[in-house]
Chains A and B, each alone.
Chain A
């Protein structure tokens, strides 16, 4: 098996035991990147030199006989909305064209400390607003399973980097499904941790109360090891929680006896008969292994999409106010007053989807509308949280399809924003509730992967990963050849 097809944990073992060097591994992925990028377009910026110098530093440690940390030496790709000092960070937006952050996100500092060579920055929907990576101002990313299809979004580039064997691991962010949905479309494991589990410092904000950094990997074990690195309190992020360090791999391989998994009726309502059949078969297979499935109701879920499209744009309209052309990024030329400069910089710098959401957000926060929209949405959000709390009194895990359909064609939904928004209908509720969730591949439909979404209690990632690991081995999904 070529190096690039090996899981991250195995690559790390090979490096640690001096069977290959981190440079060998990194060069293999860089070679794959240069080979497939012309057809996939997953990366916006490549950082070959940085990756190789980081790899060499790991190899030096190995040659000196120094111990390596977890996953040390295994390269990784980063979504382009995470600040990397002096490396372009654009959020796939014209308004941040050429922006060189003066600092590293906490996550980047962590990865540098941990010695994971950084391969580059991946494409995404502009400011993470989208479900297909098509709103990127720079390029279209293609799904490796079928290059005519979208990779999903907004972390499409990161999902494709792993699915296309350009990176064994990658980092994404998930505000309404931006990790789980592309993981589902690309057939890999995408984890969104509990809100507050991973520091957001340096993650360019879309909707602060929903944004969470997470990961893509080829399997659940790699995902658990990576979470060990990502998780932790950060004094620079007031919303990150100070919890005891824990080992998220500790429950892997020892399936929980008497596992009860909840299936929300609401998530199975709108599926096509073919897709529904796929999940029925899956549930039957898993039941035979002693997993008990329980049908349950999350009655407030039907308002989740509407709630999300008030809260997320409201926060975004404020978070994106700093892009005014004054201090960094794009500034429109030829203007004659500051007001005009700000107006023109934003008009020319933001794409259509971003503008649409800024407008919605500005509207729902306006005086006279605030109570009717934003305040009410916050109340519904509480109801959704309560629905989940009640469900978790009966079950250990809640499961559902990750998306109602497999990856759709490029251009298919770009002219119909509402249709596009619906592709996140299964993933959005979890962000509103702040809970952890992941998507694992569970089968093919029309030769495209479908995802199985598992949702856990707050800060119960160890259990979530345990169950995902158990199901993963029962499903035996082959991956993209």
Chain B
């Protein structure tokens, strides 16, 4: 039986984060009342003309630079002509042979090794509107359909990969990595549920060791990372079965259904559209000169993979911690800011990964919107290292800081949370605890070191967590000559 090699290319559509649409000043806000964010331009009224939102160019260039693309000096918009009720002009303004970026790559970590996935191109285009079918969940069985044009002309970048992906797992890793980068750069909010990030996969098989590409199918409607992996697995399986039985693959577009985890044919090559692309005469070609690209290059942040490596080599963070600290721009920037205030990398990572992340999760909050600031965290860590507060108090403090945004020093003062370092006071508390626990004293005298933890715990309890546990330990060891 032939061994098949899997060949996959992904087309990712990312909604560019902007206030206004690609060719008019209507808002891009998600989830508003249908047809409230529309104007003559994005509803395709006769006589209306598009005017390019230049922010989108800057963001597309940013993404191109981050993915090692060539930024093309000569840029042109083209019309992609087809009829559909959600496409008000009867054409979509896109880019064809003069896209903004071409020939880049993205390095993706898969199972501990790096895979370089080539990018054919990144181009800008406008989104279509949305059909809302009435009387049924989809067009089949619907009595009628309504058109919502709020999304019409919302800016997108389409990121087209080379057929360099070799497995469903790689495809998922690539998609995740691209999602991380577009979020990191602020090019796209990466929200898959709201459709800010969508993906189509081109899949084909060929006998291992051969170069010619097999007949491909395009699988659409991959709206989650999980879908990408599952749909591709399904399609590989379907194609393998056909080829193993000596059949041939029909070039077609297939639609993935997440609920049933199945795909079905949408249209074959023969039914494919002839989009009759031609340069849009309503928009003038845009020349992107070197100075423009340099200006954006200077604002380009350090990318997550580079930062990930740096955190390991320069800060000595573990692979896990470095990954967590670069998971998104918010975390990365919060970490950096706290670090710049003199805290230890490891400590910050521990707290961000631990208590802070747990609190945020519990309160459905994020670092960007919660009340904790890097300055407050740094101050708290300083007090902890100084021994002003104990670890236990620190946990309590972090919750308060997240909740109220109060400066840790204020909290320590107001609540009297400072650690008790006064030897006399600590010794006094130890004496009381020992007198209350004669059994433990016996054990300690007999050299049972385990009991020490119990006594320390009792002292901490008595001091409401304020006693310095190091000092308690030290004193107990002295008293019972333990080492």
Contacts and interface: CB of A to CB of B under 8 A. Distances in A.
Interface in B268-306: 274, 276-278, 281-284
Interface stretch (B39-47, B422-430, B464-472): B39-47
Interface string A292-322: 0000000000000000000000110110111
B280 to A, nearest CB: 8
A104 B81 CA distance: 27
A448 B354 CA distance: 92
Interface of B: 40, 43-52, 79, 81, 83, 85, 88-91, 145, 147, 274, 276-278, 281-284
B51 A236 contact: yes
Contacts of B49: 200-201, 236-239
Interface in A167-224: 200-205, 207-209
Interface size class, chain A: 35 or more
Contact of B45 (A103, A314, A326): A103
A322 B278 contact: no
Given A91-B46, A204-B46, 16 more contacts: A83-B45, A102-B45, A202-B48, A205-B47, A209-B281, A238-B50, A239-B284, A318-B90, A318-B91, A320-B90, A322-B89, A323-B90, A324-B83, A327-B88, A328-B45, A370-B276
Contact of A201 (B47, B83, B89, B277): B47
Nearest to A235: B51
B283 A238 contact: yes
B47 A202 contact: yes
Contacts, number: 106
A138 interface: no
Main secondary structure of the interface of B (DSSP, over half): loop
A4 B86 CA distance: 49
A362 interface: yes
A366 interface: yes
Which of A209, A238, A338, A339 has its CB near the most chain B CB atoms (within 10 A)? A238
Contacts of A323: 46, 90
Interface of A: 81-83, 89, 91, 96, 99, 101-103, 105, 200-205, 207-209, 235-239, 314-315, 317-318, 320-324, 326-328, 338-339, 342, 362, 365-367, 370, 374
Contacts of B81: 317-318, 321, 365
Which of B46, B49, B91, B282 has its CB near the most chain A CB atoms (within 10 A)? B46
Contacts of B52: 238
A452 B361 CA distance: 79
7 A-B pairs with the lowest CB-CB distances in the bound complex, closest first = A321-B90, A365-B276, A209-B281, A208-B281, A204-B46, A202-B47, A322-B44
Contacts of A208: 281-282
Contact of B276 (A96, A236, A318): A318
A44 B283 CA distance: 32
Nearest to A343: B83
25 contacts: A83-B45, A83-B46, A96-B46, A101-B40, A101-B45, A103-B45, A201-B47, A201-B48, A204-B47, A205-B282, A209-B281, A237-B51, A238-B284, A314-B278, A315-B278, A317-B276, A321-B91, A322-B44, A322-B46, A327-B88, A328-B46, A338-B85, A338-B145, A362-B276, A365-B81
Nearest to A361: B276
A83 B47 contact: yes
B40 A103 contact: yes
A101 B46 contact: yes
A321 B91 CA distance: 7
Given A315-B281, A321-B83, A366-B276, A99 B147 contact: no
A479 to B, nearest CB: 33
A321 B89 contact: yes
A326 B284 contact: no
A322 B93 CA distance: 13
A221 B276 CA distance: 45
